[in-house]
Amino acid sequence: MAADFLTSILRRAVPTVPIASAKISQYRISYVGWDNQIRHLPEYYISCKGSVDFWREFKRRYPQWKRNALNIISATYGPLWLRDDEPTCPSFPSVEDLLRWLGDTIDPSGVTTNLLLLTSGPVC
């Protein structure tokens, strides 16, 4: 996904908090499965440069962020919880899930979700 497009979407979503740039980032979580095998799963999130307050304001402005995230994440991992006070973007098991969450949260009509999914490409 073009970082400029993502940055533009986020700037419009929260115009009161300036950000220099935004990009999709990835990290891996590791855990031991029921069969004692170590598993490594990718997690994707959006990192923003320029303001530490962006995600706090985003969560205040869009209270449905949590419900939307839980609906997507719980389908993969089962029941879990998310903290309202964390100043970060929630992480998702796929780029598509992350973009679907962002689009559905800022524009329930689905137009932004479709644009984000259409413009997504290889990550990292």
pLDDT at 123: 45
**Cα distance from N-terminal residue to C-terminal residue, the chain:** 10
Angle at 35 between CA 33 and CA 41, to 5 degrees: 30
Residue type, 122: P
- The verdict on residue 124 lying in a domain is no
DSSP-assigned letter for residue 88: S
CB 1 within 8 A of CB 119: yes
pLDDT at 33: 64
Confidence class of residue 122 from pLDDT cuts 50, 70 and 90?
A: low
Count of structural domains, the chain: 1
Confidence class of residue 124 from pLDDT cuts 50, 70 and 90?
A: very low
Sequence-distant (6+) residues with CB within 8 A of 41 are 28, 29, 30, 31, 93
- The verdict on residue 63 lying in a domain is yes
Q: What is the pTM of this model?
A: 0.81
- The verdict on residue 28 lying in a domain is yes
- The verdict on residue 39 lying in a domain is yes
How far is residue 62's CA from residue 60's CA, in Å, rounded to a whole number?
6
- The verdict on residue 65 lying in a domain is yes
- The verdict on residue 107 lying in a domain is yes
- The verdict on residue 103 lying in a domain is yes
pLDDT tens readout for residues 18-76: 999 999 998 877 766 667 777 667 788 889 898 889 999 999 999 999 999 999 888 77
The more confident residue out of 124 and 71 is 71
pLDDT tens readout for residues 80-89: 677 777 888 9
pLDDT at 65: 95
97 lies in which domain range?
A: 3-119
**CA proximity to 49, closest of 84, 3, 83, 86:** 3
